[in-house]
Structure 1
């Protein structure tokens, strides 16, 4: 069980936010991504996975 809590996921912003919905922009900001090609390593949790699913067309996930 300890190994599962240490899992992380890398998220990269691969598309610009122009033309996207304001709620999707807020989701990207909640993931900690500001500029194009920004990368964040986040704890793999259902909340993070939900944000990624909402903006799947803007980000790339590297597990």
Structure 2
């Protein structure tokens, strides 16, 4: 998986590059999306590499959406004490 963050404005760049950002799902500065690591996604990222920051992520790094939320965990710690 790739984590792609939009870090620099596309104002003043070609329409083709702005369209590529939209195709990646990026609409606002500092927005982050996660996309599969495929040749087509890599090609799009390469086209706008001066406007985005890219990190490779491994599936184990993706947070699990199970169990209690952070706020409920804090509450549980205070109850136990």
Q: Name the TM-score class by shorter chain.
A: 0.7 to 0.9
Q: With the length of structure 1 as denominator, give the TM-score of the two structures.
A: 0.87
The runs of 4+ residues in structure 1 deviating greater than 2 Å are: none
The structure that is helix-richer by fraction is: 2
Say which one has the larger Rg. 2
- Which TM-score applies when normalising by structure 2? 0.68
- How many aligned positions are there? 56
| Pair 1:22 & 2:15 matched | yes
Could you tell me which runs of 5 or more consecutive residues in structure 2 were left unpaired when the two chains were aligned: 57-81
2:61 alignment counterpart: none
TM-superposed deviation, 1:39: 0.2
